[in-house]
Each structure stands twice: as C-alpha cells, then as structure tokens.
C-alpha cells in the first residue's frame, strides 16, 4: 500500500473518561493500539462500508482487504 494515500479524520479518537460511555472509551483505547495504517484501513472501511470500495481506494484486491480487516478486528477484540 502507498503511504501517500491517507484519509484525514477530524476526531483523534482520544479516550475521554469524563465524557465517553465505558464501551466508547474502551473502543477508542483499542483503536489507538492499532498502528497508523491499520487504523486508516479500519476507519476507511467503516466509513465506506464495502470491501470493494476500500480495496479500490488502496489499490489492492478485495481478498487482501478482507485479510487485513480480519487481522485488525482480531487485534481490536483482543484489546477490548
């Protein structure tokens, strides 16, 4: 994947113990444990909602996106 293709997200996903509900706080913590590329792929997929759209954006195949997302989901669930 090319590093030059980046989605800019306005929210930093910083956990806020005073304002976030517990599940949102824990999810933000888990997202922040992903590396930059993993976070970008996951958030792009969440925004677009399709493997095909995400694959097209990053210039990779749909099976590659599925593999990456499965690994990312596993890491998120391990950190919840």
pLDDT score, position 68? 96
Q: What is the mean pLDDT of the chain?
A: 83
Query: How do the domains of the chain map onto residue ranges?
Result: 35-78
pLDDT at 25 over 50: yes
pLDDT score, position 12? 58
pLDDT band at 6 (very low <50, low <70, confident <90, very high): low
The answer for 49, left when phi > 0, alpha when psi is -120 to 50, beta otherwise, is: left
pTM summary value:
0.73
Whole-number percent of the chain with pLDDT over 70: 81
Other CB atoms within a 10 A radius of the CB of residue 73 amount to 12
């Amino acid at each position: 994947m090319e590093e030059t293709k980046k989605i800019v997200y306005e929210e930093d996903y910083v956990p806020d113990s005073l304002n976030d509900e517990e599940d949102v706080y824990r999810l933000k913590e888990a997202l922040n444990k992903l590396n930059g590329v993993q976070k970008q792929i996951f958030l792009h997929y969440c925004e677009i909602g399709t493997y095909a759209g995400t694959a097209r954006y990053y210039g990779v195949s749909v099976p590659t996106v599925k593999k990456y997302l499965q690994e990312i989901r596993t890491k998120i669930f391990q950190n919840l």
